[in-house]
Amino acid sequence: MDWGIKNRLSRIINQRNGKGVMLAVDHGYFLGPTERLEDPKKTIKPLLQYADSLMLTRGVLRTCVDSESNIPIVLRVSGGTSILGEDLSKETITTSIEEAIRLNASCLALSIFVGSKYEHQTLSNLSKLVNEGEKYGIPVLAVTAVGKEMARDARYLALSCRIAAELGAHVVKTYYCENFEKVVEGCPVPVIIAGGKKLPEKDALHLTFNAIKDGASGVDMGRNIWQSDHPIEMIQAVRSIVHDGLSVQESIESFFLKKNLQSNELETLNR
Ligand code: 5RP
């Protein structure tokens, strides 16, 4: 692998332990002002110090992140669809490689929709992006998105992740599922997991713990962090599981119970 790609990747996945915590705030690119991400600047600022990298679009990067920040940027460069549109899988490449270089991106992120109507278009987008990234030493994160009628099971996710890696993605993001180790086994590049819809905090920490135990290289997590009533404690707890090998209970004790949360808040947490 090219030195530049390796160097940029090492800013996202720590070479010491092979793990990374990516904070995802790119949801607005098709969902608009998502709950608790209405003002991205406000959401991002207190969390940044606990993330290894930040995943977002160029618009939010330019307007909501301090240009003096040294957080590695994972730039979402696919889109062109909305939740109201014809088909979410009909994505195109929205941001040029020159723009990504100007923005000092450490990685490019693009969604693929295997099994969807526009499967071919999204896989072709990925191949083109990898070719561009390879030219300039910028790695590519393939986001395996799920079509409406697709099951999020190991068979389907393994298929998507493997195809992404075969087309040259340097990291793949997918969902945690039963038999997740099969997804990791079949994918020759690091696999990280999305958090998905907001869960009770304890469940999201279990998801993180199980994914790491089954071979994930980290998380690319959004809603389960910033939609929590305790986003700072949540990202710290996730981080402690990913990087320090804490158990779910240890992470809860370290980051929630020591903060004197009200008993009703703890009840939600322990659900
Ligand atoms: C949206 C994305 C998100 O970045 C990804 O799903 C992670 O966020 P969350 O943890 O909220 O699912 O790629 O398409």
Residue 164 sits in a domain whose CATH number is: 3.20.20.70
Task: Report if residue 237 sits inside a domain.
Answer: no
CA distances (Å), 151 to each of 117, 127, 166, 199, in order? 15, 25, 22, 19
Q: Is residue 251 part of a domain?
A: no
Specify if 74 maps to a domain.
yes
Whether the CB of 177 sits within 6 Å of ligand 1: no
Distances (CA, A) of 8 to 15, 60, 93, 149, 258: 11, 21, 21, 35, 36
Number of domains comprising the chain: 1
- C-beta of 202 in contact with ligand 1 (< 6 A): no
Is residue 111 one of the residues assigned to a domain? yes
Q: Can you give the pLDDT at residue 145?
A: 85
pLDDT digits (tens, 9 = 90+) for 2-15: 999 999 999 999 99
In a domain, 265, yes or no: no
Mean pLDDT over the full length of the chain: 94
Ligand 1: centre distance to CA 260 (Å): 30
260 in a domain, yes or no?
A: no
- Per-residue pLDDT, 263: 45
pTM: 0.95
Q: How far is the CA of 194 from the centre of ligand 1 (A)?
A: 6
Model confidence over 171-183: pLDDT tens digits? Answer: 999 999 999 999 9
CA distance 30 to 235: 24
Residue numbers of the domain that contains 187: 3-228
Q: Are 239 and 23 in contact (CB under 8 A)?
A: no
Give average pLDDT by consecutive 10-residue segment, the chain, 271 residues. Answer: 94 96 97 96 98 98 97 98 94 98 98 95 98 98 84 94 98 97 98 97 98 98 98 98 97 86 57 55
Is 103 a member of any domain?
Answer: yes
Q: How far apart are CA 225 and CA 14, in angstroms?
A: 21
Question: Tell me: the pLDDT tens digits for 141-159?
Answer: 999 988 777 788 999 999 9
